A and B are shown apart, each in its own frame.
Chain A
C-alpha cells in the first residue's frame, strides 16, 4: 500500500532552518510529484510547492520562493523540504502529499491522493 512517512517533530529558534523528510513506499516513486502543504495553528491549508522526482523540476508558491528548497533522493525514495530564515509564523504542521497529474477532455488534473502523517515544526526563542 502507498505510504508517505515523514520525519519527527522539530523545535527551532527564529532565524534557523529546518529540513523535513518524506519517505515514500508502495508505488513507483518517480511516477508522481511530491508536494508540500502546511497548516499553521488555527489556519487553513497552504500549498508550498512541488517537485517531480523523475525530472527534478520544482515549483514553489510565490510566498515561499527564495526560502524553501525541495530536494529528492531517488535512491531511497525520499523527498526533503527545507525552510530557511524561520520566524514564529512558520510554526505549523508540514505535510508531504503525492500529486496526481494528467489531462483529459475536461482539462488539466492535479490533486493529492496520499498524504504523510504531518510534521510539527515549532519556531520559538
Chain B
C-alpha cells in the first residue's frame, strides 16, 4: 500500500519560515494536498494540486511537489498557524492516503 511520511513535529519562531515535508514513492508524479487541523476544529484545506491556495487562505501558505517529496511552506509564520498539518494524495490502488501529520509549534 502507498504511504506518505511526515516529520512528527516542526518548530519555528514567529515571523520565520516553516517548511513541512511529505515523502512518498514518486509523489511528484501525483498531486499533493495539505490540510490544517486545529484542536477542536475541522480540517481546513490550505493547498490543493501541489501549490494552489483556496480562496481565503493567506498568501504566506505555499506548496511544491517534486521527486519523492511535497513541501508546505509557511512564510512569516504567525502564532495562529500553530496546528497539525496533514498531507494527502490519491493513489490508484488505495484511493485516498493521508500522511501521519506534523505538529507545527510557533515559539
Contact = CB atoms under 8 A, between A and B. Distances in A.
Contact of A50 (B37, B84, B96): B96
A78 B98 CA distance: 25
Contact of A44 (B1, B45, B101): B101
A95 interface: yes
Interface residues of B, number: 28
Interface of B: 1, 29-31, 33, 35, 37, 42-45, 48-50, 54, 84, 86, 88, 90, 92, 94-101
Contacts of A45: 35, 37, 43, 86, 88, 98, 101
Given A35-B96, A45-B43, A111 B33 contact: yes
26 contacts: A37-B43, A37-B98, A44-B100, A45-B88, A47-B96, A47-B98, A50-B96, A61-B95, A97-B43, A100-B48, A106-B50, A107-B29, A107-B31, A108-B31, A108-B90, A109-B48, A109-B49, A111-B48, A111-B88, A112-B35, A112-B43, A113-B45, A113-B48, A113-B54, A115-B44, A116-B42
A75 interface: no
Contacts of B97: 47
